[in-house]
Every structure is written in structure tokens, then in C-alpha cells.
Structure 1
Amino acid sequence: MKKTLIALAVLGTTSGLAQAQEVVVKIGHVGPLTGNIAHLGKDNENGARLAVEEYNTKGITIGGKKVKFELVGEDDAADPKTGNIVAQRLVDAGVKGVVGHLNSGTTIPASRIYNQSGIPMISPSATNVTLTQQGFANIFRTMANDAQQGSVIGKYAASKLGKTVAIIDDRTAYGQGLADEVEKGVKAAGGKVTSREFTNNQATDFMAILTKIKAQKPDVIVYTGMDAQGGPMLKQVKALGIPAKFVTGDGGCTPEFIKLAGDAMSEAAFCTQAGLPLDQIADKTFKDRFKKRFGADVQIYAPYSYDAAAALIEGMKAANSAEPSKYLAALKKVQFKGVTGEVAFDEKGDTKFGAITMYQYKAGNWVALK
């Protein structure tokens, strides 16, 4: 009996030591989980969550200890002030890296907080050029930026859809920054910008702006903002009988845009994505795994959010440390095959493998153009 008790005691001690060796590494995620683009924030969060869950099945060891990754989600409501608050909350919570934020307008100010704390941040969807031009060594993104996207929109609009273009932005860092790049693209293609108008990211009535634009008779209207405004705006374009083609950026390149625009959708509607179509990303099973896990279809940037979380983990693995000060150098050099394709960063933190895809609405869906 004594031998049995001793054996059980030793076994219990060994089990306790094994459990003690497992280390929890927190990775933060921030996006709008409330408000009119909450569906996009949840899409990003779910992408990061799936990455964390799948990496946890691999039994990863860092620094001689088994690691369990934990995603800590925060809601910034697409508001810069709230974004700063939750960024500091993640820092205080001891996260070792951050995936986010979604919007450029929240990501840019929050990046300063992460920079001051030395915590790596990778955005899967903030495309404003300024983000990676601040000189911060710990800020990255996994998709193309607005200089690339805006150029494609502007040149396509002025060379394929017409010659005169009216541009409307939502006055956010994302919307205004993309609109500036679109204007450059239009002019580079020999087109003419008939007007630059703006609204805001909470607006629902665009009649005054559109009535002014109607009188100018542009061939194309470009809206740089999110789907919550873009869909209703297109409905009002149709209501006013404006014959112009309608182009929106990646903020409107979603199933939700189609839903909100309703019967105003036609083959005269186009959008862009700072990335690849789902059927062209490297991991063809991603969308099915995502749907099985969350019961929802991918909206737009979930795969890039997955790769952002994966990049943080790959950097930790390469450095054999989860401490930001130790794995940041490895993160800068990391290159691996993610769900979207090859993942690696240039000296500024931009992806080395950025792609832009133009879509046209056909038969109920956004269809990638060749």
C-alpha cells in the first residue's frame, strides 16, 4: 500500500510539473465589434482566433516550455479614442503581440501606443500609407496599401469605365487617404476629376452630395469608405437616376455591401480588394474551415488576419521567445507560407507580396476580373 501511495504521489507531482511548464502567451486583437461595421471586425477577429486555435493543436514549444496561445479580443467601435483606450488595455494585460486594428483611423493612433510599449502590431486591413511610414520598427501589415489600391482604382476608372470621375470619401484616415490616391490614379490615366466630395462614416443620407454630382454628369463615381455607407449610397444613386458607373474600395468589397445596396446592384458596380479572391489564396480549405468553426462566410480580410496572427507566432518560434524585445528582430525576417500565400515584410513593415484585385458585380456576387 505504501509503495502504491508513493507511486501515486510521484505521478501527481510529475503531472503538476508538466502543467506548470505550459505557458500562456496572450495575443491581442482589436476591431469594431459594435456599430455599423461590426461584421467586418468580427470577421477579422475570427480569422485571428482560427489561427490561434489551429496553432494550439501543434504542441508548440518555446524556450523549452509548451505554449498555449490565447486571443484577447477588444472592441474599438471604429473610434480612434476608443482604439487608444483598448490598445493601452491590451498593453496592460501583457499581450505579446497584437493583430489589428481594422480601420486606418484607429490603427494609426493606436500604433503609437504599441510602439511606445515595444509590442509588435500587425494589421490585416488598415491600408492607409501613413501606418508604415511613421518610422516604427514594430508595425506591420499583411495586405497591400492604399497607394497601390488607389492607383488601380483611379487608372481603371479613367481608362476602362470613362474619362470623368467624381470622388466621395468618408473623411476617415482610410477614406480620405484612399481618395487622394484614386485622384492621382485618375490623372495619371489621363482622366478628369469632376469633384471631390465628402460625407462621414455614420451618414445615411447622401442626396445633397449626389444631386450636386448628378449635375456634373461624371462617367464614374468612386466612393472610398465602408460598406455601411457605400451600399445605401448606391441605392440613392439609382433613385436619382444617375447613369454613372459606381466603384468602391476594399471597405465596400463585401457581401454586406450587396445586401445593403439591394436592387441598385448591377454590372455597373465595381470594387477592389487589397488582396486575393478567396478562391485564389494558397489555402483552398480556409473558407470551409472558417465556415465550419464560426458558422459564417468570410467577409473580406479574415485570411489576412489569420496570417497576421500566424506571423506573430512564427516570429516567436524563430526567436525561441515570446518576449517582444527578443522576437521582434525575427519577426522582421520571417517568411512562411500562410493561408493567403507567402508572408514576409519589407523594411517598413509592408507586405512584400501585396496584390490588388478588381471585382465587378455579376449574378449576385462580386466576381474577380482577370
Structure 2
Amino acid sequence: VSPTSTSVKLTGSSDYIFRTVPNDSVAAKALADYMQKQLDKKNAAVFYNSQSDYSESLKSEFVKFLREQGGEVSSKLICDLSDPNFNANQSVEQSIDSGAEVLVLLPNTAELDDTLKVVKANKQRLPLLGGDDVYTPKTLKDGGADAGEMVVAVPWHILASQTDFPETSRSLWKADVNWRTAMSYDATKALIEGLKNNPTREGLAQSLRSKDFTAKGETGEVQFNQFGDRDRRGIQLVKIEPDPKCSFGSGYCFKPVR
């Protein structure tokens, strides 16, 4: 039961793989919707890592949803961060010259440094959207003012929680937790519930696959569809905003988009 693996390749790949985190299609659609409905933009430049299943998955899903909704990402505006010749400054200038209205940052963690070079090269000229691997303290610290107003899609945010989980987790960890902790908690709760009736490996799999299975997690009821994906779980958009109280010392924090 994975709390963090989001690639659409996992959907239906095995009767024994489940996940509490929404797959990339959910995040991709949320970003495409925000770009078109809130930013009122249609043309995007996408930065991703072709060597990462996660990054490739999120890029493909975003491009699909954007085009389905009348937007566009031309082939020359899809920039591969893993290309040995990748140059952030050149890529941003070419994107702007080619009509990009938004820069969409969908790297994996390994390419975060190059992604932040893109943020710096943009100099706040175009709006920024990002996938959940951009959601790190490093983005706040190194991105600084240039990352301001960036909107990132994550499965959960502590400030949007309506349970006592944030307070309980703070008392345990002595810090604010992120979406990975919440999804791990949900995965653990699913495993505990699944083991109650038949505490064997096959019994657990049967329990989780059952249409009647449900477990109470931090992010709501945990249920799985026929493909092993989290059923009826949405995404949380967060925006980078100035905040002198930010615990990371950057002067910026991720805040929920209401």
C-alpha cells in the first residue's frame, strides 16, 4: 500500500498494489483546470524529466487534460530537464518567445535544482504551476521571491485539515508534517483495518480489494477502486506566499488555495 507513488502506470498493474495517494491524473487535471479557469491561460511550457516514470506520467496526463480542454502545449514547449544540453535561461526565453503563457514544472526530486534555475530565469514574468515534488523547503529557500505565487498540486496540506491530526502529529514529531506523512498514516490505517478479518497476506489483499472495504484515515475514508487506486480522493492546491513566520526561515510558505 503505497502512500507516495503516483504514476498512472501502477493503475491496474497488479491485484496486490494499492495506494492512498491519488494518481497523477488527479493532480494533472487540477493543474490544467486552475490554469484555464483561474489564470485564464491556454498555452503552457512544460518542464519534466523523461527518465522518471513519475515525471513522465504527470507530464503526459497534464498535456492530455490541457488539450482536451482547449489548451495547448506544442512539442517545442516540452523541455526535458534530463537533457545534458538543458539550459534554464535559454529554455525560458524560448518558451516566452514561442507564446507560452504559463510555465509548468513537473520534475522529480533529482531534477529540482535545474527546476529552480527555471524559476530564477523566469523572474516572475510568467505564472508558475508545479507538481508535488516541487513541494519542498528547498523551493521556498532557493526560489525565494521568484517562486512567489507558484501554485503546486499536493494530496494534502496541514492548514486545510479539519481533524485533530495536525495537533497530534505536532506533539509527536515536534514539527509540522506534510502530505507524505498524512498519506502514510492513511496507508497504515488501511493495513490495520484490512488485517482484522483475515490476517494473512492473501487475506489482506482480499480485504483491500473488497467493494465493502473502508478505513478511516486523516484524509477521509480510505477505499480502493477495482484498479487499486484511492477512490474519491481529490487534490489540494497550495500557493507560495510571503510569511515571516515560516518555520523554514525563507520568508515564504505554502498556503492552501481556498
Normalised by the shorter chain, which TM-score bucket?
A: 0.7 to 0.9
2:65 equivalent to 1:188: no
Question: What residue number does 1:367 align with?
Answer: 255
2:106 equivalent to 1:218: no
Residue of structure 2 aligned with 1:163, choices 42, 45, 48: 42
Return the structure number with greater strand share.
Answer: 1
2:134 equivalent to 1:249: no
Q: CA deviation at 1:226?
A: 3.6
Query: Are residues 202 and 229 of structure 1, via their aligned partners in 2, closer, same or farther at CA, if it must alter by over 3 Å?
Result: farther
Query: Are residues 313 and 125 of structure 1, via their aligned partners in 2, closer, same or farther at CA, if it must alter by over 3 Å?
Result: same
Return the structure number with greater helix share.
Answer: 1
Q: CA deviation at 1:327?
A: 2.6
Mapping 1:66-145, distance limit 5 Å: 122-134=1-13, 136-145=14-23
2:216 equivalent to 1:328: no
What is the identity percentage for the equivalent residue pairs of Structure 1 and Structure 2? 26
Using the alignment, how far apart are the partners of 1:287 and 1:155 within structure 2?
28
- TM normalised by structure 2 equals 0.83
Q: CA deviation at 1:224?
A: 0.8
Q: CA deviation at 1:218?
A: 1.2
Query: Secondary structure of the equivalent of 1:247?
Result: strand
C-alpha distance after superposition, 1:264-286 (max 9, x if no partner): 2222x11111x23323445x332
Query: Secondary structure of the equivalent of 1:329?
Result: helix
Aligned residues of 1:255 and 1:299 also touching (Cα < 8 A): no
Letter in 1 for 2:201: P
Q: CA deviation at 1:231?
A: 6.5
- TM normalised by structure 1 equals 0.60
Query: Secondary structure of the equivalent of 1:192?
Result: coil
Aligned residues of 2:92 and 2:121 also touching (Cα < 8 A): no
Query: Are residues 356 and 251 of structure 1, via their aligned partners in 2, closer, same or farther at CA, if it must alter by over 3 Å?
Result: same
Query: Are residues 146 and 204 of structure 1, via their aligned partners in 2, closer, same or farther at CA, if it must alter by over 3 Å?
Result: same
Using the alignment, how far apart are the partners of 1:259 and 1:170 within structure 2?
22
Query: Secondary structure of the equivalent of 1:130?
Result: helix
C-alpha distance after superposition, 1:107-138 (max 9, x if no partner): xxxxxxxxxxxxxxx1111111110221x111
Question: What residue number does 1:56 align with?
Answer: none
Query: Secondary structure of the equivalent of 1:186?
Result: helix
Q: CA deviation at 1:359?
A: 2.0
Question: What residue number does 2:189 align with?
Answer: 310
2:228 equivalent to 1:349: yes
Aligned residues of 1:168 and 1:222 also touching (Cα < 8 A): yes
Query: Are residues 287 and 336 of structure 1, via their aligned partners in 2, closer, same or farther at CA, if it must alter by over 3 Å?
Result: same
Question: What residue number does 1:277 align with?
Answer: 157
Q: CA deviation at 1:232?
A: 5.6
Q: CA deviation at 1:310?
A: 1.7
Structure 1 unaligned regions, length at least 5:
1-121
Query: Secondary structure of the equivalent of 2:79?
Result: strand
Residue of structure 2 aligned with 1:147, choices 25, 36, 52: 25
Using the alignment, how far apart are the partners of 1:160 and 1:326 within structure 2?
46
Question: What residue number does 1:175 align with?
Answer: 55
C-alpha distance after superposition, 1:135-156 (max 9, x if no partner): x111101021111211221232
User: Aligned-pair RMSD on alpha carbons?
Assistant: 2.6
Using the alignment, how far apart are the partners of 1:240 and 1:252 within structure 2?
16
Using the alignment, how far apart are the partners of 1:315 and 1:177 within structure 2?
29
Question: What residue number does 1:61 align with?
Answer: none
Larger gyration radius, structure 1 or structure 2: 1
Aligned residues of 1:235 and 1:264 also touching (Cα < 8 A): no
Aligned length: 243
Q: Which structure's relative contact order is higher, taking Cα pairs within 8 Å and 6+ residues apart?
A: 2
